[in-house]
A = this chain, B = another copy of it.
Amino acid sequence: MGEFELINTYFARSAARRDDVALGIGDDCALLVPPTGAQLAVSIDTLVEGVHFLPGSDPALIAERLLGAAVSDLAAMAAEPAWFTLALTLPTADINWLEPFAAALARRAAELNIALVGGDTTRGPLALSVQVHGWVKANEALTRSGAREGDLVLVSGTLGDSRGGLQVQLDSDLSAPSAYLRQRFFRPEPRIALARGLCRYASAAIDLSDGLVSDLGHIARQSGLAARINLEQLPLSAELEAYAGADKARQWALSGGEDFELCLTIAPERLDECQAVAAELQLPLTCVGQMQAGSGVSVFSDGQPWNSSAQGYDHFGEHFGDHIGERR
């Protein structure tokens, strides 16, 4: 058995059991038992060193970020997490990297109620692909294409924190507010419970991976509408405002990306019910704009069109060197 095959054995030991896993890690395929009458939601995501995280990042933090970001795609469909697979490409079978990575992955998987059921480990430049599998009743799935004219645009949590957390790393800032922002970068919290609670009210949803302007643009395009964002309504954390100032914080809230909060559209008359769901979960849910006839996403400040070059995630590239471009 080769060094890299041993790694798979290693992950097998830390894989949590679920009743719906007939056969887990260690055969050619995992065998999984679907619940009756549900649709299978699947999504695959890749993180590459130097593109999605800085070289030398703590492997435990990479594990948490990887799984949180992937499960967030299930939240965007209002699906319940079930299983995931991991394709891990590593320069060397370094146990000092693998041990904390696998431990953090197992811990985070247990918190998210998702089981590792298979994987592939290869030698090569550090990159990680995760495929997540979840379940959703057909009539409860949220997509990007269901928004209607006049719907309100809601976002969960606060925006721009993850971009702040990146800046904290680039600046090697170890001050107190930076700990919160770093955590927001490395430990995305998929909004599964919120999505499950709102799926009966929402007309469309997406998770914020590329930035609000870019991601809301997907809802607008796929729903055949325009979207308007009101700059002053963007929810900002006190930590981000203290770290970056209000102007930069708002720009990052628009285009920073990787916040993995939910963006949903709802009919105005459902706002109170949605706020009740969010209050129950003790999670901010903020109206930041509205869907309109037309196309594209426009930003308004104090009721006036706001001129911005904010283009989703493209800003990211500046900081990671010239071999790194868009991350989509």
Complex interface residues of chain A between 87 and 102 (CB less than 8 A to chain B): 87, 89, 91
Size bin of chain A's contact surface: 35 or more
Residues of B within 8 A of A129 (CB): 44, 46, 87, 120, 129
Residues of B within 8 A of A328 (CB): 1-5, 8, 121-122
Q: Give the residue name and chain of the B residue nearest to A77 (CB).
A: B29
A54 contacts partner chain B, Cβ-Cβ < 8 Å: no
A232 contacts partner chain B, Cβ-Cβ < 8 Å: no
Q: A124–B76 contact, CB under 8 A? A: no
Q: A89–B31 contact, CB under 8 A? A: no
> How many monomers of this protein are in the complex?
2
Q: A46–B136 contact, CB under 8 A? A: no
Q: Give the residue name and chain of the B residue nearest to A73 (CB).
A: B28
Q: A29–B42 contact, CB under 8 A? A: yes
Q: B44–A144 contact, CB under 8 A? A: no
Q: A123–B222 contact, CB under 8 A? A: no
A26 contacts partner chain B, Cβ-Cβ < 8 Å: yes
In the assembled complex, the CB of A84 is this many whole angstroms from the nearest CB of chain B, namely 10
In the assembled complex, the CB of A190 is this many whole angstroms from the nearest CB of chain B, namely 11
In the assembled complex, the CB of A46 is this many whole angstroms from the nearest CB of chain B, namely 4
Q: Which of the 9-residue segments A32-40, A154-162, A171-179, A270-278 touches chain B?
A: A32-40
Q: Which of the 9-residue segments A237-245, A284-292, A299-307, A319-327 touches chain B?
A: A319-327
User: 16 additional contacts, CB 8 Å, given A23-B143, A26-B222, A46-B124?
Assistant: A2-B312, A3-B326, A26-B144, A27-B143, A29-B73, A29-B132, A31-B141, A32-B39, A33-B39, A34-B39, A40-B40, A46-B122, A48-B122, A87-B87, A123-B325, A124-B125
